[in-house]
Structure 1
């Protein structure tokens, strides 16, 4: 009898211990372990991150980091991390958290528009994904990549069509660049390609002219008319005489660094640069900025008319007055110059 009582006691103690262990395991795996009030939060796990790096992000988000550590070790997450952007939802237990940050890399919406250079674009992209700006810029400027895909460093900015794109946070610099090439080729579908041929411009030339049109006007409704002016000038061999190209050329010079040119002057027209479209006929060798899609399509569907000139309209800022003759243009231009002077804008 005595032995039976001992065995029963041992069995009961075993059950209690097993139950306590089972409860601990259940708690560690399934009980809510989040300490934030938002519905969900995101963490980013860098490429080749250590468990300690991930743990430091998780610790302020969890009630009990110890139980998470124990389960992470048991499920071998601490030695098998995955890079990416992951979501943790309010009320998740450790098991669901580990499953989420191990396998469910969440894409993000990456967006860019109107970057004035590859440097600006690299900076903009690096603020949204893991790749840093120097790696992005190196990938964007890769000479073999550019040459094999019909670009040069002067035209490379035209490969990046401003829009929003779904990408993974841990996308590498090269993968981002290659993805943008695919988007560029998708953008240049048969319809746009045939329109470029119809207006007798290459894709790079369309992008260069669109960059000028975009700098001249942000009004999508007016861009086809401005594009028509430049197409008329190209057709008759008249210099484009585009003020935005003078600003672009000026900003490359030391004396114009960290300045804003609000008024184009005759001195700017004397700048020795292939981008000076007062001195050089035809299109500049590359883009002067990143055009909106509306400006690109404005070049492809430019308005047919007889205008050769346009000047900013002081009565309707943001828009322009168009002229067929130089005499009428001079009247319009003087009106705008008077407006600039009245506003104290002298340079």
Structure 2
């Protein structure tokens, strides 16, 4: 009997030793696997981890995508590190050279893949929405257009108008793949209102513009010049004309009015356009138009609420992106003669005379 017990004891010790040896070998194997880097393709590998994905399914998903080499060892590593509850769903970009341990670390960080798009200053809403739809977010253009004119959505986002025009702030935006049309437009409106609050904090004494009027004037300033240093002075001209009851007579509003009236955008203005009555035509209608004609940036908003001190009532393009400013009609007419009549007359002469 004693011999039997002794034999069983010896077998138990041997089995335990064997198990211990197997366990140590397995641990070394897992550790070696977790520390062995994998060089991924130059473009990287994008993997979408759905909500509710368990460690075993995740390990297979990553192995099938080529991010790791062994799904079983990755699963065992996740279990050993008790990392399962920390792993987050989302779209991930794996690039460069990564060890499985680094892969798990990335999944635990929640640093999902992001997408960017940039909206330049001074574009109209009809130009901006296709930029969003054409981005890698793949937003639905029709839905964007519907939201841009949806009174309820506009009211909820804080737009004080019947259109989103003017409130799609020009900037570079970053979103994850699952961003919705509502979320993107809401973020852009929030940015515009944030910049308005900054500009409003520096509002000049005596400037009585409402929020909508500020965006409206800022959009006109934005369209009138691409020169940052000119914006406060152009704003001053418009403030002076508003104060004296003089029509703004700014060409960008005519272009916008004709777009609304005819459904076609054209930069070429005719005399008939100037004389066509429309709420947005500041040659026929006094004061500011009903709303913005484009989407202004921060500098234009600041200029609208903090114009330069000046006596100017007119400005004329030098045809190089800058302007001549005048306080009187006599000065203005002289500037028009020089920079519009004579300038283009000389241009025509040079074209017809040809090279010497």
Considering the TM-score relative to the shorter chain, is it more than 0.5? yes
- 8 Å Cα contact 2:218/2:300 also seen in 1: yes
Once the 2 structures are TM-superposed, how far is the Cα of residue 288 of structure 1 from its aligned partner? 1.2
Task: State the alpha-carbon separation in 2 of the partners of residues 274 and 325 from structure 1.
Answer: 27
1:209 aligns with 2:217: yes
**Is the alpha carbon distance of 1:207 and 1:71 closer, same or farther for their aligned partners in structure 2, counting shifts above 3 Å?**
farther
Alignment of 1:61-72 (within 5 A): 62=67, 64=69
Task: State the alpha-carbon separation in 1 of the partners of residues 18 and 62 from structure 2.
Answer: 40
Aligned to 1:152: 161
Alignment of 1:28-67 (within 5 A): 28-36=33-41, 41=44, 43=46, 45=48, 62=67, 64=69
- Which among 93, 101, 105 is matched to residue 111 of structure 2? 105
- 8 Å Cα contact 2:45/2:65 also seen in 1: no
- Residue 188 of structure 1 aligns to a residue in which SS? helix
- Which among 303, 310, 313 is matched to residue 305 of structure 1? 310
Aligned to 1:249: 257
**Is the alpha carbon distance of 1:136 and 1:307 closer, same or farther for their aligned partners in structure 2, counting shifts above 3 Å?**
same
Task: State the alpha-carbon separation in 2 of the partners of residues 14 and 240 from structure 1.
Answer: 89
1:265 aligns with 2:265: no
**Is the alpha carbon distance of 1:158 and 1:26 closer, same or farther for their aligned partners in structure 2, counting shifts above 3 Å?**
same
- Residue 94 of structure 2 aligns to a residue in which SS? strand
Once the 2 structures are TM-superposed, how far is the Cα of residue 161 of structure 1 from its aligned partner? 3.1
Aligned to 2:282: 277
Task: State the alpha-carbon separation in 2 of the partners of residues 295 and 121 from structure 1.
Answer: 18
Task: State the alpha-carbon separation in 1 of the partners of residues 15 and 191 from structure 2.
Answer: 70
Task: State the alpha-carbon separation in 1 of the partners of residues 149 and 48 from structure 2.
Answer: 27
**Is the alpha carbon distance of 1:216 and 1:60 closer, same or farther for their aligned partners in structure 2, counting shifts above 3 Å?**
same
- Which among 337, 343, 349 is matched to residue 339 of structure 1? 343
Q: Which moved more, 1:54-63 or 1:295-304?
A: 54-63
Once the 2 structures are TM-superposed, how far is the Cα of residue 327 of structure 1 from its aligned partner? 3.5
Aligned to 2:121: 114
Structure 1, unmatched stretches of 5+, are: none
**Is the alpha carbon distance of 1:168 and 1:151 closer, same or farther for their aligned partners in structure 2, counting shifts above 3 Å?**
same
**Is the alpha carbon distance of 1:302 and 1:98 closer, same or farther for their aligned partners in structure 2, counting shifts above 3 Å?**
same
Structure 2, unmatched stretches of 5+, are: 1-6, 352-356
Instruction: Compare CA radii of gyration and give the structure with the larger one.
Output: 2
| Superposition CA RMSD, Å | 4.4
- Residue 275 of structure 1 aligns to a residue in which SS? coil
- Which among 319, 324, 335 is matched to residue 321 of structure 1? 324
- 8 Å Cα contact 1:157/1:290 also seen in 2: yes
- Aligned residue pair count: 334
- Residue 322 of structure 1 aligns to a residue in which SS? strand
